[in-house]
Structure 1
Amino acid sequence: MWPFTDAAAQPYHSTIESKRARRADALGHAPPFSEDKHQKYLDATAKQIVENIQDRVWTATTVLEAYLARAAQAQKATNCLTEVFFEEAREEARKLDAEFDKTGELKGPLHGVPISVKDMFDVKGFDSTIGFTQWANKPAEKNAPLVATLRAAGAVVIAKTNVPQTLFAFESANPLWGRTLNPWSTAHTAGGSSGGEGALLAADGAALGVGTDIGGSIRIPSGYCGIYGLKPGHGRVSIEGVADPNPGFEAIHAVAGPMARSVADLERMARVLFGAREGAHAYFPSPLPYRDVKLPDKLRFGYYLNDGAVKGSPACQRAVLETVQALRTAGHECVEIDSPDSIQVLLLFCGLLSADGYETIMSHLGPDKRESALFIATLGPRLPGFVRAAATWVVRNLVGDTRFASFLTHSYKKTVRMFYDYTKNKAAFERQTRAALWSAPLDAVLAPVQAVPAVPHGGCDHLAPLACSTLMYNVVDSPVGVVPVTRVDATRDVLSDVWRAAPGNGSKLLEDTLYGPNGAYDPKAMEGLPVGVQIIGEAWGEEKVLAVMHVVDAALGPRGFGPGTWAPNKQGGVAKNTLVR
C-alpha cells in the first residue's frame, strides 16, 4: 500500500507512524463483525434505518455497532480510513437514543444514520491532513458547516476517508495514509480523490458519505466502486471548512456532494444539504433548498459513447448501451449525440491550474513531490519553452497525436493577462457547450464515467487526461449523477475487431497506453469491476437529475448493487474474488 519512495517519506517517518498507530488504536474499539447480528443493518438504506428507529425496532446504538464492525473490515481490506472516531460516534448514538426515549421525536431525517466524510472536511478535534504529513497534528477547532448540518439532522459521523496527492482524480494514495484499494479488485484503484468514500460505502462501512469534486472526484470513485454519487453545481452545498491545497483558485469551483448506496439515499442527503446555512456566514450555499420536481411520463435522453479524448472501452460503451436499451424498453426516447469537445476542456483546465506553475499546490508536498502520479501533470511548467515546443512538435508530427501534443502547449507559468484570457475562453466554452447540449429538447444526457471501468494502481502516472470525461462538467458547471449499471465481463468486453474498427477519434498515445499490448484495459483482470454511467443535467437542475436517476435505476432493474452486496469473502455474485484476506 506504499506507493512512495522511502527517501521521500523518511523526513516524516515518525509522523506517519504515530498517525497510523492512533488510527489502529481507534479501530481496535470496533466490535467483531457477526453476520447474524449485524448484516440486517448493513442491508438497510438510510430511509429504512430511520424508519426502524422511529418504530422502535432498532436503536441508533445497535445500528452504529454494525457499521463500526464493517468499517473496520473495510479498512483492513481497502485502507480507506484516515481519522477514526468510533468512541465519539458511540456517544452521539447514546445521546440520540436517550433523547428519542424521552421525547419520541427524531432529531432529523438522518437520525441514527452512520455517515463518513472525506478527509478534507473539518471535524472538531481531528486533523484534516488530506495526506500531507505537514498538516498532521493540527486538529480543527470547529466543525465544517456541512458536518454541523449533518449532525443537526441526526447523522452519526464515524470516520474520515482517504484522499490522494494528485492533480487529477484517479488515485487515492498519499505518504501519510498509504493507498486505498478498490473493494472489488486489489489490483485497481478506488478512484480519487473521494476514493476512500467510494471504497467504504461500497463495503457497507457507512450508510452515507460526502465527497468533493473539481474534476470528477465524486463521480470517478462512484463509478470505480459501484455506488451512486451526485456532483451538484457550485452553490448548492456549503464548502466552508474544507482543507484546500490550492486556496484562491476560483477559475473552476470545487463542489461538495453526497455519495451513497442508492438513489433514494442521495436524495435524502440532498434534501438536508441543499441551501443549508449552518452558521450565519457559511460560504456560498445559495438560499435554495431542495425543490420537488415532476417528470413527464416519457423522457428524452441524449447519449454518447466516446468522450473525444479517447475511445471508450467495450465495457464502458456496453454500460451506456445497456442503459439506453433499458430506457427504450421502459418507453423513453434515446438519441445519439456528438460528445462535447473534452480535449478543449482539458486544455482550459490545465492552462488555468498551471497558471502559477503549480507552485501553490506543490508547496505543501515537500519531499513528497517525488510521488510519480504528479509527473505528467506537472511536466509542462518544468520544461524550458524551447524544450516544450520541441516535445510538442515530436508528439504532433512524429507520433502523430495532435490531441496529446496540445496538452503540453497549455501547461506553463503565465502572466496575469494570460490567466485572464484563459478565464475568458473558459466562460465562452461554457456557454457554447451548454447551448450545444441543450439546444435540442433533452431531459438528460447519458455518458461514460470514463473510458475504462478503473485503472490499475499507478495508472494516473500516464493516464491523467482520462479525467476530461468528468472534468467537462466541472468547467460547464452541470449537475451530474452516477448510477452503477453492470460489471466487467471478460468474454463480452474484449477488444474485438468490430470495436477496433468503430470510430473513436481519440488520442493515439492514450489509446495505445490503454488498449495496446500490456495496456491498462484488461477485461480478464478487471472481471467483476463495476461500470457506471454519468447522468448530466442542465445548470441548477440537481433535483431533476436525481429524479432522472430514479427512472434510470428502475429501468435497469436488480443487478447486484446497493446495500449488502459486498463482504470480505464475496463480491456480490461475481465469481472471481480478488479481495484482501
Structure 2
Amino acid sequence: MADKVTWWEKTRDSLIPKAWRIDVDAYASRKNVLDLTLTSDDDAVDIARKIRSRVFSVEEVTVAFCKRAAIAQQLTNCLTEILFDEAISRAQTLDQERKANPGMSLPPLFGLPVSLKDTYHIIGVDASIGLAYYCNQPSTVNSPLTDILLSLGVILYCKTNVPQTMMTADSHNNIFCRTLNPINRDLTAGGSTGGEGALIAMRGSVVGFGTDAGGSARIPAACNGIYGFKPSANLMPFSGQRIPFLDGWETAIGVSIAAGVLATSSRACAFALETIMKANPANNDPSCLRMPWTKDLESTLTTAEKKPLRIAFISDEGLSTPTPPIRRALRESTEKLKNAGVEIIDTNLPLVPEMVAIIVGMFTLDGGQHMLNILASKPEPLVPSVVNMGSPPPGPSTTMEKYFELNKRRQVVMETYSALWRELDVDAIAMPLAPYTAMPPDSWSSFTYTVLFNLLDYPSMAIPVGAVSGADQVDGISNARYGEEDSKLYQKYTGPNEYADAPIAVQVIGRRQDDQAFLAVVDVIDSILRVE
C-alpha cells in the first residue's frame, strides 16, 4: 500500500499549480537537492520585519513560500495538506486591509507564512496523522495554537507529514508515504515532525510548529540541519490536536509533551515562543501556564552576552557511544566555546537506566491497546519503521498503584537533577542529540538522548554544527563502550560515502520553565558555534 501512489497523494498533488511543477525524474539521481530552492538568509524575524516595513507585500512573500513548498513537496514528499489558494487569498486580503488603513496597528506576525505539523486542526482540512482511521474527516474546529497564530496575523499555507503511530523517527505512513531528507535523500528526514524538517531545510518554510514527546521536533531538526526547540511543557498550546492516544493521555502521562518550534535560526525559535506567550495562550488553552514573558528578548540577549557562560558538557548518555562524526563535531564545538571564553565542565548524567524504565512505563499506561485498536479498525498494514520499533503488543493497563509508583520514581529523578544543577552551577548543558546523524530509512532506534529531557521537562534546542565529511572514517568496534546493544548501534555508521552531507547537531538543555533565560544563553552559544 505504501509503495504505490495513494489516492490521498494524488488528491494533494493535484493542488500544485501546473506552472510550479518540475521534472522530478530529472533529479532522480541526486541525493542533495537543497540548491533547487536557493533563497536569501532571511529568517522568520527578518521576514516579519520586512513585511511590516513594506519591503515586501504579504502576497509576494506568500506566493514565494507556496512555490518553494511546492518544489520541496515534489522532491521530498513533505506535505499532507496544500492550502495555497486559501493562503494567497488571505494574503491579498491583508494587503488590501493595510492599504485601506495605512495607520492600522499590525499584529506581531502580520503576513508571516507558517507551516503546521499534520496534528494541528485547521477548519475544513483533514488531520489524518498518517492513519486511515482519521482520513476524510475535515476538522470542524481549529486547534488553540491555530487560532492564536491566526490572531497574530500569520498565513497558514500547508501541513506536513508524520509517521504512522507518531512514535518513530521516520515520517512514513500508508496515506502520504515517506518523507525524504533533502540533504541526502537516502537518509531519513526524522520524525515525528519530519515533514516540517524537510520543508524548512528546503526553505519551503522558515518557521513551523510541531510537537515533541521524545524528540519529535529536535530529531527532525538534527536530521535536516535546522533548529528544533522543545520548550518546557504548557508554555505553548498543545491541547486540541489530533494524537492517536486516549483522550487525556497528554496530561496524565508523566513525560512532558510540548508543542515545538522548527526554524532556520535559534532566534526565530525564541521569537515564536515570545510572541505566543505574550498572546496569553491560557485564554485559548486552559492547560497553558499564565506565565508572562517578562523582558524584551533583545535586552535579555544583551544581558546574556555580557555574562561569562558555564556549560556542563556530556559526552554521551551512558548507554550508547557517539559515532565518529558526532564525536568529531563535539570536539570542535567544545573547542570553539572554550576559545570564546566559555567554561566547560565535564560531567555525566545520573540515573539514566532508571529514567528509561520510567519512560517506558509511562508510554505504555494502557498497554498499547488504543493504538492497536486504531490500526485494526480499517485495517492497515504497519510500515517498516513501526515494525522495527516493535509495535506495542497487547498488554495489561497499568494499575493505579503502579502509576503512582512511576510518578514517585519520577519525582526522585527530578530531585536528583535539581541537586545536579545546584552542584554544577551552570547556565546550560550541552551534549549530543543522538549517537548518530540521520540514518537510512527505518533504522533509527535511539531516543534516549532526547526523551530524557521530556521526562525532566527541560527546555532543549537542537543546534546544527556541521555535516559528515571525508574525515569521518569508520573506526573499530572496540570504541563502543556499553556492550552488545551499543555495538549494534555503533556499527550503523558505515562511513562518509553513505552518510554524505548528513547534518550534525548539538543539543543544549536548560532548567525547567526557565525558557526565557535559556533562549538567551542558546543565542550566545549558537553565535559562537556558527563561526567558521
Output the TM-score relative to the length of structure 1: 0.82
Q: 2:489 aligns with which of 508, 514, 517?
A: 514
Q: 1:290 aligns with which of 293, 297, 304?
A: 293
Is 1:552 matched with 2:525? yes
Q: 2:64 aligns with which of 56, 63, 66?
A: 66
Q: 5 Å matches for 1:237-276?
A: 237-247=236-246, 248-249=248-249, 250-251=252-253, 252-274=255-277, 276=279
1:508-551: CA deviation from partner (whole Å, max 9, x where unpaired): 22x332333xx355332112111011110001111122112211
Is 1:370 matched with 2:382? yes
1:20 equivalent in structure 2 = 9
Q: Is the Cα–Cα contact under 8 Å of residues 315 and 488 in structure 1 kept in the other structure?
A: yes
> Partners of 1:29 and 1:63 in 2: how far apart?
20
Percent identity between the aligned chains?
29
Is 1:471 matched with 2:444? no
1:572 equivalent in structure 2 = none
> Partners of 2:180 and 2:409 in 1: how far apart?
38
Query: 1:124/1:186 Cα in 2 relative to 1: closer, same or farther (>3 Å)?
Result: same
> Partners of 1:39 and 1:32 in 2: how far apart?
13
Q: 5 Å matches for 1:9-158?
A: 17-28=6-17, 31=20, 42-104=40-102, 105=104, 107-158=106-157
**Residue type matched to 1:457 in 2?**
P
Q: 5 Å matches for 1:290-439?
A: 290-292=293-295, 293=300, 294-295=303-304, 296-366=306-376, 367-368=379-380, 370-375=382-387, 377-378=389-390, 381=393, 413-439=397-423
1:95-140: CA deviation from partner (whole Å, max 9, x where unpaired): 1111221223463222221110000000111011110111011111
Query: Which deviates further from its counterpart, 160-169 or 298-307?
Result: 160-169
> 3-state SS of the aligned residue for 1:368?
coil
1:170-201: CA deviation from partner (whole Å, max 9, x where unpaired): 11111111011111111111110000011100
1:29-55: CA deviation from partner (whole Å, max 9, x where unpaired): 67469xxxx978653222222232233
Q: Is the Cα–Cα contact under 8 Å of residues 535 and 545 in structure 1 kept in the other structure?
A: no
- Which ranges of structure 2 fall in alignment gaps of 5 or more residues? 23-35
Question: Once superposed, what is the RMSD of the aligned Cα atoms?
Answer: 2.4
1:397 equivalent in structure 2 = none
> Partners of 1:279 and 1:237 in 2: how far apart?
9
- Which ranges of structure 1 fall in alignment gaps of 5 or more residues? 7-15, 383-410, 560-581
Shift of 1:358: 0.6
Q: 5 Å matches for 1:159-308?
A: 159-166=158-165, 168-247=167-246, 248-249=248-249, 250-251=252-253, 252-274=255-277, 276-277=279-280, 280-292=283-295, 293=300, 294-295=303-304, 296-308=306-318
Shift of 1:424: 1.9
> 3-state SS of the aligned residue for 1:189?
coil
> Partners of 1:194 and 1:181 in 2: how far apart?
12
Query: 1:459/1:47 Cα in 2 relative to 1: closer, same or farther (>3 Å)?
Result: same
Q: How many residues align?
A: 505
> Partners of 2:89 and 2:204 in 1: how far apart?
19
Shift of 1:328: 1.1
**Residue type matched to 1:319 in 2?**
A
2:31 equivalent in structure 1 = none
Is 1:486 matched with 2:486? no
Shift of 1:376: 5.2
2:30 equivalent in structure 1 = none
Shift of 1:163: 0.6
Query: 1:289/1:91 Cα in 2 relative to 1: closer, same or farther (>3 Å)?
Result: farther
> Partners of 2:391 and 2:164 in 1: how far apart?
16
**Residue type matched to 1:65 in 2?**
V
> Partners of 1:340 and 1:531 in 2: how far apart?
25
Shift of 1:307: 1.6
1:268-291: CA deviation from partner (whole Å, max 9, x where unpaired): 111122264458452311111323
Query: 1:164/1:102 Cα in 2 relative to 1: closer, same or farther (>3 Å)?
Result: same
Query: 1:320/1:59 Cα in 2 relative to 1: closer, same or farther (>3 Å)?
Result: same
1:459 equivalent in structure 2 = 443
1:427-471: CA deviation from partner (whole Å, max 9, x where unpaired): 2222223322442110000010100011110114xx2xx101100
1:546-570: CA deviation from partner (whole Å, max 9, x where unpaired): 11221112112356xxxxxxxxxxx
1:183-230: CA deviation from partner (whole Å, max 9, x where unpaired): 111111111000001110010001210010000001100111111111
Shift of 1:246: 1.1
Query: 1:124/1:278 Cα in 2 relative to 1: closer, same or farther (>3 Å)?
Result: farther
Query: 1:94/1:302 Cα in 2 relative to 1: closer, same or farther (>3 Å)?
Result: same
2:28 equivalent in structure 1 = none
Q: Is the Cα–Cα contact under 8 Å of residues 162 and 173 in structure 2 kept in the other structure?
A: yes
Query: 1:279/1:125 Cα in 2 relative to 1: closer, same or farther (>3 Å)?
Result: farther
Shift of 1:143: 1.5
> Partners of 1:318 and 1:412 in 2: how far apart?
45
> 3-state SS of the aligned residue for 1:526?
coil
Q: Is the Cα–Cα contact under 8 Å of residues 368 and 392 in structure 2 kept in the other structure?
A: no
